[in-house]
Amino acid sequence: MAELQGHVQGMNAPIPIPHAQDNVHFQRSELSIILSLYGRFVAAGEWRDYGISSLKEVAIFSVFRRTAEQPMYRIEKRPKMTAKHGLYCVVGMDGRILRRGQDLKTVLRVLERKLIRSVE
């Protein structure tokens, strides 16, 4: 009976819940760069909404043309990929990686080119 009670007590042990501090986040300077680009696309009438996700291995800034749609682009920050492909990447709606790199401004140039073409 003692074994059974020990087993039952083990089942009632608290389950560790991941804390938000364990998640990857965008820094204020990174968000400033991203939101500056976002504002220019909104002014051009291309983008209307965004969402930010902070997960265990990635922080994602998703851009939407309309709120109910899937994101047009995802700007991702993946610290584990820093040494291999770069900390940042831009992913298209179809899941293709459009650009990767260590410098956020350089990676976002792939989107700035699209803005220039849409304004012309």
Q: What confidence tens digit (pLDDT) does each residue in 66-75 have?
A: 767 789 999 9
- How many domains does the chain divide into? 1
End-to-end Cα distance, the chain: 79
Which residue, chain included where needed, has tokens 């909104």? Answer: 42
Whether 39 is covered by a domain: the verdict is yes
Whether 14 is covered by a domain: the verdict is no
Nearest-angstrom CA–CA distance, 111 and 95:
15
Nearest-angstrom CA–CA distance, 100 and 83:
12
Q: pLDDT by residue (tens digit) across 32-66?
A: 999 999 999 999 988 999 999 999 999 999 999 87
Can you give the residue range of the structural domain that contains 111? 19-119
